[in-house]
Each structure stands twice: as C-alpha cells, then as structure tokens.
Structure 1
Amino acid sequence: MSRELKRKNELDPLVAAPVETVDDVGVKWMSPLSPPFRIAGFPWIGKEGIYRRLPSNPGVRLPRAVDTLADCTAGGQIRFRTDSSRLLIKVRLAGTASMYHMTAAGQCGFDCYVAEPGKPLRYLSTARFHRDGMAYSDQLYKWGDKRTMDVVINFPLYQGVKEVWIGVDEAASVGEPPPYACDKPIVIYGTSVTQGGCASRPGMAYPNILSRMIPLPFVNLGFSGSGKGEPEVAKLIADIEDPALYVLDYEGNTGAPENIAGSLPVFVQLLRERHPNVPILVVSRIRNSVDLFYEDKRELSEARRRIQREYVMSRRAGGDSQIHFLDGSALLGEEYAEECTVDGKHPTDLGFMRIAQALKPAIEKLVGLKS
C-alpha cells in the first residue's frame, strides 16, 4: 500500500465523520478542521487536511528521519472563541509516550491557554491521560456559567495526532479567534531544541512561547537530531507562502564545522531564490554543559558559530541587508547548565522562557512590530 493511500485510510474515520455531533450528556463535539476554528502551525493543512508539518507528498526526497518527525505536531495550535461553560478534548494519537527525559504531557499532551477578549492569553490546564494510551479525552475547564473566552490549544511536541475533537456545551457559540497583527508566518527551522525537547508541556516550547508574545502565526520546523540544513528541506520551506521571517537555528545538529560551512550558504540561497527580501535570522547553538568541561567541544561550537557569523557578514557585505546573526551562546545566561537544561543540552521550561525572551526583541524588530 502506498504511503499516501495508507495515510488516507488511517484518517478515514476523521474524514468520514460529521464536523459536529452531540453526545448524550449535552456535549457538542466539533472538528477543528472546519470553520470557525483556525489551525496554525501546519502550512499544508489547507490542501491535505492532516496534522503534519511538511507535505505528505513533498515532491523531493526527504531524509527519512525528517519525513518521520514531520508527523510530530510541534507548534500546531487550535484557536477559537467560545462562550461554553466547559471545554473538553478528545484525541487519537499515532503512538504512546516513550521518552525518558521528557514528560508524557510534553510529548503527547495538549495544553490550553485562555483569555477574556482583548486580554493576554494565560495558561489554564493540560489534558490528563494514561501515558500508555493512544486515545484519550479530558475536560480542560468547567466554569459553571457561560464565559466568553479566546482559547488556544497547543498540540503535542513529539507525537503524531490522527484525530482531535473539541467539546463544548450543546447550546454554546463558537466563533473565530481574534486576528493576528499580520497573517504572514514566522518560520523557525532547527533541531530538537526548536521542536520542543524537553518542555514539560507543549506551550513551553520556545516557538509557542513566542507565539504568545508576538501576534503572528508561527511554524515550528524543528526536527530532533535531524535539522542538518539539507537542500531538500530548504526547498519545501521556501514553498511556504508569504513568510514574515525565517529563523535558522540548526547548528546543533551539524557536527563538523565544514558541514554548516557547506549547508548554510546553499540553504539561504534556496530561500532567497523564492523570497529575496524576507528577513533571515541565523541563530547559533545555545551552550551545553559539555562546553564547560571539554575543550574540544567548546572549540567545535566556537568554530561553527564563527562560520555562521562570518557568512552572514559576507552576505551583508554583498548586498543582502535582510540577513542577520544572533549569538545563541548567550541566550540562557551564565548558569545555563544548572538552571536551564534537563540533560545538559535540552532546555527546561526556564531555559525555553529565556530563549524566547532573548529572541523576542530581535524578531519584533525584523518583522516591524514595536516591543
């Protein structure tokens, strides 16, 4: 069976089901694939109707790991407004929680942010489930009375999602979310750190934190261990329509300095062929605990960082004023290993918050938003 046919068959229950049903306890179940819900983070969802970060039939030969990790739903969001007195979620996953250094909630869970109209989003709850289960349902809130709320639900970071349904009161209204300041997406390409390893829950991955700070859609194209700057991936990223900004944060997966010296110019040029004036922000790797103790590791990181900085400077000297460099070694602060990582290299929630706070002013400047 072909990959495309297999994927369609796996999704048939979702495709064939009605967009709205009511159960025997007065809960109206709705598919977020239909209006007035808005889905963010999946650039090809309008064409394919599946929760996947890259197209299922990309037209280029993707590295196997990238193709697999594209099914992980990091950065996906469901956005809407409702006056329901309660909010429920029903989910069918592609697999179970299995990571030793990441919570089940971060790998396989959904978390929920809410706000009264016109106010900032605040974290409310995370769906509860058995870590060995591939399907679950849970109540995200219950007020006891009708309250109009803007809602953002973040998808799992390290698992695929086959189906998701949103449950509200049978008589509740569900409407469109507030508009972005601009519909152009900020596209972040990178490693496991970009994907969200090892946030305790989805909303704490740094692209998701940034999405609450900056009112633009975000696309998380972090591929754990596999953000290596391949030209095939660059071509797909260049296909994303009308981007506001590219952030290239993939040094950590590149190995020897000559790898990033070879891949970065090709990657940038492929983006430039399609989007000659879109800002590009190149971010070097955050510091790891090994940098404190192993001179060769520290020198390796410094060499790769120097290559990125010098390439950006040379391109700017050649007339590309829309490419920029940001030194990632300073993002976590001086106590980076002790305070900000789970295993010496993957951030904790504190680490992700520091990354987001440091990137925010640079991104706002590049996309033309005031801080």
Structure 2
Amino acid sequence: MQRRRFLLGLVFWEAGCMGQQGLEWRILRGDNIEGKGWSETVAPFDRLPTHAQATVPPSVWSLSHHSAGMCFRFVTASPQIGVRWSVGGELAMPHMPASGVSGVDLYGRDSKGTLRFMSVGQPRQQVGNQIIVTGARGAPREFCVYFPLYNSTTRVEIGTAPGQPALPPPPRKHKPIVFYGTSITQGGCASRPGMAFTAIAARTLERAHINLGFSGSGKMELALADLLGELDASVFVLDCLRNMSEDLVRERMEPFVRRLREKRPTTPILCAGDAFLDNPAEPMRSKLTREAVAKLTRSGIPNLHYLPMRGAWDNDGEGTVDGVHPTDLGMSRQAAVFVKALRKLV
C-alpha cells in the first residue's frame, strides 16, 4: 500500500501498510492532543511551550517533556483498536510501575455514555509497544487514549480496521481545568495514566484538563504564574505544598496568586491544602495557605478559594505507596475531594 498523508478533521495522519492484525495504522501528528496547553513545543507531546525554557527552572523544563495528562479522543466503529507507542526514558521507578510511568490507557464510552476503562498498555521496551483491544461493533462510539505520566512520549499510532477511521469527537463545551503542582499532581504513583487524580476528576466532571505537575518542582516561581496565565482555563488548581517549605509558602504564595490574577482577572483559583496522614493538627503549610487566601480575598482578589485536604486519603494508611505518593486508592479518594470542590467552580 502506498504511503499517503491526509487530514481527518483537525488530525494529521500518515497512513501506511496494514499490520499483521489487519489494522491500518496512522501516526498521530496533529496538534489537537487534549491536555496540551500550547501548540509551539519542542516535541509533539511536551507540556510547556518552547519559550518557557528561558524562564522556568531546569528541573521543570526537563519534566515538561513528560506527557502527563495528555490524551487523544476519537470516534470509531472499528471492531478492533490498536495503540502503538514509544517513549524516551526509563520504563519504571522503584515505587511506580511501568504501566503508569510509561504505559497508555484506553477508555471507551459505554451504553450510558460514561467513559470506562478498557485496557492498559504495559510497556516492555522504549520503542514499539503495542496493544490491540476488541471494541463494540456497530455504531461509532468515543474512545480516549491516555499517554504516559512520567516519560516522554515520542511516537503514537492508532490502528483501526480498514474503512473505519478514527474521527474527531464532539468538541468540548467547556474550558479545561488546569492543575499545577507536584509529583502527586503529575501522577505519582498511579498504576496507569487514567488513575491519576487529575484524570479521574476530569472524567467525572466531563472536562478536559491540563496537567502541569512537576515532580519535586512545584514551587510557585513567578515564571509559572506567567505561563498559567497564558491558558484560558475554567479554573486553576494550585496544589504545590508538598514541594514547598513553610518559608517558601510565606514568600511565594501571595505573589504567585497576585500575578496569576493579573493575567486572568476572573478565572476561579483553587488553592489546595496539604494532604497528610495521621496528623490531628493542621499542617503549618496548610494554615499559611488558608491565611494567605483569606488575606488576599480581603485585599480584593476575587474568586479565590481554599480547599482543606485533611483526610483526603482517609486515615486507614492504605492510600499511599510510601506515605507521600498515593496509590490508586489514594488517587481515587483525593479525586473525590477535588470533584466536590470543583463542581461549585466550573
């Protein structure tokens, strides 16, 4: 079969020969990846724009090459769906499996219209990982492929039966939720990409989301406030306390919020407290954040909110891998807390 390039909706594909499974594979080349806030990036699945390299800390820039939060939504009636993908770094971490660090996650809408988990792609090498999933025959329905949380994604291909292309889904009706934070926000230590609390919350609320969690590096530099301000969001979620000392909270919380409010005068800003285990007292970082929100509100900063996170993982000790990073159970519990707060804001 002769190779050809063509346009389906807003998605550029390069179609090649059918594989052994009888699927026609198309390389995803377009800029309509959901969860990507900027089109001008160094690589197709980077999270920050090219111009950010000059202003953000090196650790943030390095982590911005991870594809956390990105996904590809499409509609097809193909009886089988394939995903082939390649990544650029180590497949796993000591406390987080390869399926979450470097895997992909396929969801499909059921008969009630809810996105449901279908299959996870478990990576076995950096290049050329593949999953084939049997879907429902008949009428087209929507699918969503989540990309790796803690690795750079270098190539993604979607496979469908001949004559059953992957078409653009109905457009979102609402602006995305933008999450800015730490390793927990990025997705550590979910077992698969769809189990990051950000993804769970966005699916529950039927919203797109942009994940700007940076492991160990969510420290509220003003350069990040400027970048967030470039995004047209339905709400900004600031969840950085696990990476900040008490002194950093005192120094940076108020200037960060003020800068973001200058860029986005009316968009809701939700400042999350510190999720913690077995601590009856309010952590000082949470107290400082709560007081900063109250002070900023009194000074005239509108639409600013504080979310206490006490008990977000419950107190049975089963919500984390290491006392810091949530398991899937912890992610689900944390997502429920955010959903309850976000429903009032979006």
- The alignment's TM-score, normalised by the length of structure 1, stands at 0.85
Q: Residues 29-108 of structure 1: matches in 2 within 5 Å?
A: 29-34=25-30, 38-45=32-39, 50-58=44-52, 60-108=54-102
The answer as to whether partners of 1:82 and 1:172 remain within 8 angstroms in 2 is yes
Which position in structure 1 is the counterpart of 2:185?
194
Deviation, structure 1 residue 136: 2.5
Decide whether aligned partners of structure 1 residues 68 and 360 sit closer, same or farther in structure 2, where only a CA change above 3 A counts.
same
Deviations 1:112-158 (A, max 9, x none): 1001476100001001331xx11133234124845522101111110
Q: Which sits farther off after the overlay, 190-199 or 84-93?
A: 84-93
Deviation, structure 1 residue 284: 1.1
Which position in structure 1 is the counterpart of 2:326?
347
Which position in structure 1 is the counterpart of 2:199?
208
Which position in structure 1 is the counterpart of 2:128?
136
* Structure 2 counterpart SS, 1:96: coil
Which position in structure 2 is the counterpart of 1:295?
none
Q: Which structure has greater helix proportion?
A: 1
Structure 2: distance between partners of 1:146 and 1:22 = 25
Decide whether aligned partners of structure 1 residues 285 and 145 sit closer, same or farther in structure 2, where only a CA change above 3 A counts.
same
For the aligned residues, what is the CA RMSD?
A: 2.1
The answer as to whether partners of 1:126 and 1:140 remain within 8 angstroms in 2 is no
Structure 2: distance between partners of 1:229 and 1:24 = 47
* Structure 2 counterpart SS, 1:193: helix
The answer as to whether partners of 1:251 and 1:284 remain within 8 angstroms in 2 is yes
Which position in structure 2 is the counterpart of 1:13?
none
Q: Which sits farther off after the overlay, 106-115 or 45-54?
A: 45-54
Q: Residues 265-304 of structure 1: matches in 2 within 5 Å?
A: 265-288=254-277, 291=279, 302-304=283-285
Decide whether aligned partners of structure 1 residues 19 and 103 sit closer, same or farther in structure 2, where only a CA change above 3 A counts.
same
Deviation, structure 1 residue 168: 0.6
* Structure 1 counterpart SS, 2:342: helix
Structure 1: distance between partners of 2:135 and 2:283 = 52
Structure 2: distance between partners of 1:327 and 1:251 = 12
Decide whether aligned partners of structure 1 residues 177 and 116 sit closer, same or farther in structure 2, where only a CA change above 3 A counts.
farther
Which position in structure 1 is the counterpart of 2:158?
166
Which position in structure 2 is the counterpart of 1:22?
17
The answer as to whether partners of 2:277 and 2:315 remain within 8 angstroms in 1 is no
Deviation, structure 1 residue 318: 1.8
Question: Are 1:125 and 2:119 counterparts?
Answer: yes
Q: Structure 1 residue aligned with 2:242, among 252, 271, 276?
A: 252
Structure 2: distance between partners of 1:47 and 1:200 = 27
* Structure 2 counterpart SS, 1:39: coil
Decide whether aligned partners of structure 1 residues 344 and 350 sit closer, same or farther in structure 2, where only a CA change above 3 A counts.
same
Percent identity reads 33
Deviation, structure 1 residue 41: 1.0
What runs of 5+ residues in structure 1 fail to find an aligned partner? 1-16, 293-297
Q: Which sits farther off after the overlay, 109-118 or 78-87?
A: 109-118
What runs of 5+ residues in structure 2 fail to find an aligned partner? 1-11
- Large movers: runs of 4+ above 4 Å: 46-49, 143-147
Structure 2: distance between partners of 1:144 and 1:221 = 34
- The alignment's TM-score, normalised by the length of structure 2, stands at 0.91
The answer as to whether partners of 1:117 and 1:149 remain within 8 angstroms in 2 is no
The answer as to whether partners of 1:45 and 1:51 remain within 8 angstroms in 2 is no
Q: Structure 1 residue aligned with 2:108, among 108, 111, 114?
A: 114
Deviations 1:240-292 (A, max 9, x none): 1x21100000011012x121111111111111111011100000111046x58
Question: Are 1:326 and 2:307 counterparts?
Answer: yes
